[in-house]
A and B are shown apart, each in its own frame.
Chain A
Amino acid sequence: MIRALIALSAVLLTAMPLCAQVAAGTETAPAKPPEQIVAGLSRDNIGITTSFDGSQILIYGAIKRQAPEPEDQKLAVIVTLEGPLGPVLIRRKSREFGIWVNTASVGVASAPSYYAVATSGPLDQILDRRVDVQQRISVPMAMRAFSGPLLVQNTQPFTQAMIRIRERQGLYQLETGGVRLVENTLFRADFSLPANLTEGEYKTRIFLLRDGKLVDQYQSAISVNKVGLERWLYMLSHQHAALYGLLSLAVAVIAGWAAAAIFRFIR
C-alpha cells in the first residue's frame, strides 16, 4: 500500500503529462488518478407512493487533487443517471389496404427505461468519441445489442425512433450545461425524474474529463421502489395473481352492491 503510494507520487511529480494517459487508459489500472471525484447524492432511495408525482435528485461533489491543476487542459464533468435495463420492441406501421398496420419490428435486448445525461459543456467538445463508445455515455450509446433475428435491412431508423419517442416522453434526456462547475472544483447536477418511473436500481455515473479523455469516474446507485400500498398491490398481483384477481372482483362486486343499496336508500 505504502509502496504503491510512493510510486504514485513519484509518477505524479515526475511525469505530469503522462497522468492523463495513465488514467484514461483502462479501468484495469488501479492507480489513483491525479484528480479524483468525491461525490454524494441528495438521496439514495426513492419510494413510489400513491401520490408519487416525479422526484428531484441532486448529485453533487468535488474534485480532489494531489497536485496543482494542469492549466492547459480543459476540465469537464458529465453525470449520467440510468434506469433499469429491459428489452424493448420497436414497431413500424405502414399503410396496408388503406389502414395503418404494424408491419415491421426490431427488438432491442436491453435499453434503459430512463437515461439522463447532464454535462458541463457541449458533448462533442468535451467528450472524446472513443471514450464515449467505451463508457457508453451519450444517449444513443445507451441502447444495447439487438435481440432475435433481424428482419429489417436498416435498423438505424428504429433505434433513432426509440430514442426520439423516449425523449418526447422525457425518459431520455441530454442536458448540455446541466452540470454546474464552480472554480473547477465543485460541481452539481439536478435531475428531475418523471412520474412514470419503473422500479429498480438507478445507476449514477460521474465522469471527470480533461481534453475529452477520462481522468476519473465514480459510480453509485439509487434504488427506486414502490412502497406501502403500491408495493403490496403490485407484489400481490404478480405473486398471487388469482387472489389479486378475486380481490379486484370483490372490490367491484361490493362497490356495485353498495351503489345499488345507497341508491335505493336515497330514493
Chain B
Amino acid sequence: MNERDIVNDIRQVLDNSLERMDADIRARLHAARRGVLNPARPREERGGVLALARHHHRLALLLLAGGLLLAAWLASRPQPAANDVELDIMLLTDDIPPQIYADWRLVRREDVGPLCLTVN
C-alpha cells in the first residue's frame, strides 16, 4: 500500500467517524455554535453615569482620580478657625486697626480663652 492509499483510507475512516459522532457531542457543538452566533443581547442601557463608566472605562477612571484628588486637596486645606471669624468681625466693627490684618504674620492667636491678640 503506497502513501496515497494510506492517506486516502485514513481520510475515509476519519470522515466516517464524523458521521458516527455521539449525538450528545453533536448537540453540544450545535448549541455552542448557536450561542456564539446569537449571544444573549444585553438590555438597552439608558444614558447615565453607569452607562458612561461601562463604555468609557478610561474616562471614568480619569474622572474618579480627579474627584479623589480634589477631595484630598479640599481635606488638606487649612480650615478657618473660629478665631479668624471673630477677627474679621472685630476688623469690621473697627475694634482693631486694619493694619493688623495687613501685617497678618505679626498676629499671634491664643487658643485658650477669649480672643486675645498681641502685636509684636
Q: Do A and B interact? A: no
Q: What residues of chain B have their CB less than 8 Å away from a CB belonging to chain A?
A: none
Q: Which A residues form the contact surface with B (CB < 8 A)?
A: none
